[in-house]
Amino acid sequence: MKIAEVSEKYGLSVDTLRYYERVGLIPPVHRNEGGIRDYNELDLRRVDFIKCMRSAGLPVEVLIEYMGLVQQGDSTIEARKEILVEQRDLVAARLEEMQKTLNLLNHKIEVYEKAILKKEKEMLQIEELMEEG
Amino acid sequence: MKIAEVSEKYGLSVDTLRYYERVGLIPPVHRNEGGIRDYNELDLRRVDFIKCMRSAGLPVEVLIEYMGLVQQGDSTIEARKEILVEQRDLVAARLEEMQKTLNLLNHKIEVYEKAILKKEKEMLQIEELMEEG
DNA sequence: CTAACACCTGGAGTCGACTCCAAGTCAAGG
DNA sequence: CCTTGACTTGGAGTCGACTCCAGGTGTTAG
Q: What is the CATH number of the domain that holds A36?
A: 1.10.1660.10
Largest Cα span, chain B: 88
**Number of cross-chain residue pairs from A and B with Cβ atoms under 8 Å apart:** 92
The number of folded domains in chain B is: 2
| Contact assessment for residue A111 and residue B77, using Cβ atoms and an 8 Å cutoff | no
B28 φ/ψ sector (left φ>0, alpha ψ -120 to 50, else beta): beta
Q: Is A79 near chain B, with CB under 8 Å?
A: no
- Residue of B45, B55, B98, B99 to mutate when probing chain A, most A C-beta within 10 A: B98
Say if A54 falls within a structural domain: yes
Domain shared by B59 and B92, yes or no:
no
Residues 25-44 in A contacting B (C-alpha not used; CB under 8 Å): none
Cβ distance B102 to A92 less than 8 Å, yes or no, reads: yes
Boundaries of domain holding A46: 1-72
User: Which positions in chain A touch B95 (Cβ < 8 Å)?
Assistant: 95, 98-99, 102
| Beta pairing partners, B2 | B38
Domain shared by B66 and B92, yes or no:
no
Cβ distance A119 to B77 less than 8 Å, yes or no, reads: yes
| Spatial distance from the CA of A11 to the C1' of D2 (Å) | 36
Looking at CA atoms only, how far is residue A119 from chain B in angstroms? 10
Give me the sign of the Cα torsion angle A18, A22, A24, A28.
Answer: positive
Quote the Cα angle for A104-A109-A112, to 5°: 130
Domain shared by B66 and B96, yes or no:
no
Domain shared by B67 and B81, yes or no:
no
For residue B2, the SS3 value is strand
Rounded (to 5) percent helix, strand, coil in chain B: 75, 5, 20
Say if A26 falls within a structural domain: yes
With both helix axes pointing from N to C terminus, report the angle between A77-132 and A60-72 in degrees, rounded to the nearest 10. 150
Say if A119 falls within a structural domain: no
Domain shared by B2 and B52, yes or no:
yes
**Residue-wise pLDDT tens for chain B (133 aa)?**
999 999 999 999 999 999 999 999 999 999 998 899 999 999 999 999 999 999 999 999 999 999 999 999 999 999 999 999 999 999 999 999 999 999 999 999 999 999 999 999 998 998 888 877 6
Residue A63 has what pLDDT?
98
By C-alpha distance, which of B73, B36, B92, B114 is closest to A98? B92
For residue A119, count CB atoms less than 10 angstroms from its CB and return exposed for 0-12, middle for 13-18, buried for 19 or more: middle
Residue B128 has what pLDDT?
86
Residue A37's φ and ψ, nearest 5 degrees, are -55, 135
